Amino acid sequence: MSDEQPVYSEKVMEHFRNPRNVGEMESPDGIGHVGNPVCGDIMELYIRVVDHVITDARFKTFGCGAAIATSSMVTELVKGKTIEEALELSNRAVAEALGGLPPIKMHCSVLAEEALKSAIEDYLQKHPKPDSA
């Protein structure tokens, strides 16, 4: 309780205050569910995929300000990306898009990256042969 508290950027606070794409998705094409081994928080990410492109993403997160802001940012960043492009999205890129995170909060962005990867894996498992319409 007495430890130094991290200071969040404006952008982080903005996403924390007004998180984008919150909530579950009706019959998503992929669901990612990950737990944070560092502090024990949980993130769920849902994606809609059309023609190999992520057209929509939503999330639910039980975690700190940074976890909520990175979840929100990751759902924004992946929209419009192909599966391959989305797989390359790193936690650093998410953190950078938020104007940086305090070092002690970098692990929360790792959680967001993993949630996305897990949602894509789930999608690929359910759709072994991506339709090439």
Partner 1 sequence: MNRVYLDYAATTPTHPDVVQAMLPFFGESFGNASSLYSYGREARAAITAARSSVARLIGADEDEIVFTGGGTEADNMALKGIAFAADGKYNHIITTSIEHHAVLGSCEFLENLGFHVTYLPVDKYGLVAPDDVRKAITDNTLVISVMHANNEVGTIQPIAEIGRIARDAGVYFHTDAVQTAGHVPIAVNDMGIDLLSVSAHKLYGPKGVGALFVRTGTRISPLIHGGAQERNRRAGTENLAGIVGFGTAAELARGTMTEEATVLGTLRDRLITGLLERIPEAQLNGHPTSRLPNNVNVSIDYVEGESMLLHLDMEGICASTGSACTSGSLEPSHVLLSMGLSHQLAHGSLRLSLGKWTTGEDVERVLETLQEIVSKLRAMSPLYKAPGRSAQ
Residues found near partner 1 in the complex (CB under 8 A): 1-5, 13, 16-17, 19, 22-23, 33, 38-44, 59-65, 67-68, 104, 107
Residue 96 interacts with, from partner 1, ligand FES, none (CB under 5-8 Å by kind): none
Q: How far apart are the first and last CA of the chain?
A: 55
Q: Applying CB under 6 A, does 36 fall inside the site for ligand FES?
A: yes
Binding to ligand FES, residues 57-76 (CB under 6 A): 63-64, 66-67
| CB 20, CB 71: distance < 8 Å | no
How many whole angstroms separate alpha carbon 59 and alpha carbon 27? 14
Residue closer to ligand FES (CB basis): 49 or 110: 110
How many CB atoms lie under 10 A from the CB of residue 66? 26
- Which of 73, 62, 67 has its CA nearest to residue 96? 73
Q: Are 24 and 95 in contact (CB under 8 A)?
A: no
Residue 29 within binding range of ligand FES, rule CB under 6 A: no
Nearer to partner 1, 22 or 53 (CB): 22
Give the residue numbers annotated as catalytic, written as ranges. Answer: 39, 108
